[in-house]
């Protein structure tokens, strides 16, 4: 059987795929479209499948032709038998008419000779009896010949039936082999699909782990940013405190300066 005919035709292509699977299939398709050797192999498989289809069509045509020829031969045989029976019937009717004519002729002659040929009539009766016996014997012989011919015909029919049975047996064996081949192909396809599902599960698991690691790194980065924000806020708070302290120092200096200024003014006025 051509390899192209063994290709799995299951409906796994109609299964609903995720976005990642569609993307992966698209990449595979683009990869196939850029692989000349794979394209050539696909064209070769297609040509092989077409050759296999033409071969099966030719075989079906030959089987139909053989069946037509056998049917035609059987029809011709039945027609010959019918013609033979018709000829036999006509010959029998002709013999019957001939016997009837002879009988009437002999009856007429016996009537004419009855009185003067009584003794001869007895002899004639005996002769007729012998003739009838011979005719019966000939008829029996013809019947035996016809029976032998019928037996030969039955034997030929039995041989044709045996041939048909052998043909049917060959066809059953071929169907069985094709069925076994389809079963093997189905099992190979199932194993291939199982390997594909296992690979996809591995891909999904690795993708999930990668995403988990990415989320962990993102959480770590977030904690680092949070820590830096807290550090900046604490530094800002310390800076504001120093600024307030400097402001209070300036205010105290200004108060002391004003106090000294008032003190000088009192001394000058005193």
CB atoms within 10 A of CB 6: 16
Contacts 24+ apart (CB under 8 A), 3-10: 3/45, 3/48, 4/45, 4/46, 4/47, 4/48, 4/49, 4/52, 5/48, 5/49, 5/52, 6/181, 6/185, 6/188, 7/45, 7/49, 8/185, 8/186, 8/188, 8/189, 8/192, 8/193, 10/189, 10/193
- For 65-79, 114-128, 244-258, which range has the lowest pLDDT when averaged over its residues? 114-128
Q: How many residues does the chain have?
A: 270
Residues 182-238: tens digit of each pLDDT: 999 999 999 999 999 999 998 999 999 999 999 999 999 999 999 999 899 998 889
- Residue 37 within any structural domain of the chain: yes
- Please tell me the total count of domains within the chain: 2
- Residue 232 within any structural domain of the chain: no
Mean of per-residue pLDDT scores for the chain: 85
- With tokens 């053989």, the residue in question is 66
**What is the per-residue pLDDT for 269?**
80
- Residue 183 within any structural domain of the chain: yes
Cβ atoms 191, 14 nearer than 8 A: no
Q: Among the three residues 199, 216, 236, which one is the final residue of a domain in this structure?
A: 199
Question: For 60, how many CA atoms within 13 A lie in the half-sphere containing its CB?
Answer: 6
Q: What is the mean pLDDT of residues 121-125?
A: 83
- Give residue 54's domain range: 31-64
**What is the per-residue pLDDT for 28?**
59
Q: Among the three residues 175, 199, 223, which one is the final residue of a domain in this structure?
A: 199
- Residue 168 within any structural domain of the chain: yes
- Residue 47 within any structural domain of the chain: yes
Q: Among the three residues 150, 178, 199, which one is the final residue of a domain in this structure?
A: 199
- Residue 266 within any structural domain of the chain: no
Residues 125-155: tens digit of each pLDDT: 888 999 999 999 999 999 999 999 999 999 9
- Residue 187 within any structural domain of the chain: yes
Considering the domain architecture, whether residues 195 and 123 belong to the same structural domain is answered as yes
Considering the domain architecture, whether residues 60 and 124 belong to the same structural domain is answered as no
Residues 76-117: tens digit of each pLDDT: 989 989 999 999 999 999 999 999 999 888 888 878 877 887
**What is the per-residue pLDDT for 116?**
83
Cα separations (Å) of 43 from 5, 133, 215? 13, 84, 46
- Residue 191 within any structural domain of the chain: yes
Residue with the bigger pLDDT between 8 and 36: it is 36
**What is the per-residue pLDDT for 139?**
92
């Amino acid at each position: 059987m051509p390899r192209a005919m063994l290709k799995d035709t299951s409906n796994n292509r109609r299964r609903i795929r995720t976005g990642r699977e569609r993307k992966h299939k698209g990449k595979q398709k683009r990869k196939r479209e850029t692989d000349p050797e794979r394209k050539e192999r696909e064209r070769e498989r297609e040509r092989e499948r077409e050759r296999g289809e033409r071969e099966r069509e030719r075989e079906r045509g030959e089987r139909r032709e053989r069946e037509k020829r056998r049917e035609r031969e059987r029809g011709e045989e039945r027609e010959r038998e019918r013609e033979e029976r018709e000829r036999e019937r006509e010959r029998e009717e002709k013999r019957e008419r001939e016997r009837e004519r002879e009988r009437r002729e002999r009856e007429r002659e016996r009537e004419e000779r009855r009185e003067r040929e009584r003794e001869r009539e007895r002899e004639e009766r005996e002769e007729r009896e012998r003739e009838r016996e011979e005719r019966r014997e000939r008829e029996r012989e013809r019947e035996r010949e016809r029976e032998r011919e019928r037996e030969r015909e039955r034997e030929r029919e039995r041989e044709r039936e045996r041939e048909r049975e052998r043909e049917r047996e060959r066809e059953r064996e071929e169907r069985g082999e094709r069925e076994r081949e389809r079963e093997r192909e189905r099992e190979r396809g199932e194993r291939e699909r199982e390997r594909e599902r296992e690979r996809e599960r591995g891909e999904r698991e690795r993708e999930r782990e990668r995403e988990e690691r990415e989320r962990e790194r993102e959480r770590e980065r977030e904690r680092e940013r949070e820590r830096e924000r807290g550090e900046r806020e604490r530094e800002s708070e310390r800076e504001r405190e120093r600024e307030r302290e400097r402001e209070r120092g300036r205010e105290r200096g200004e108060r002391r300066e004003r106090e000294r200024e008032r003190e000088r003014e009192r001394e000058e006025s005193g």
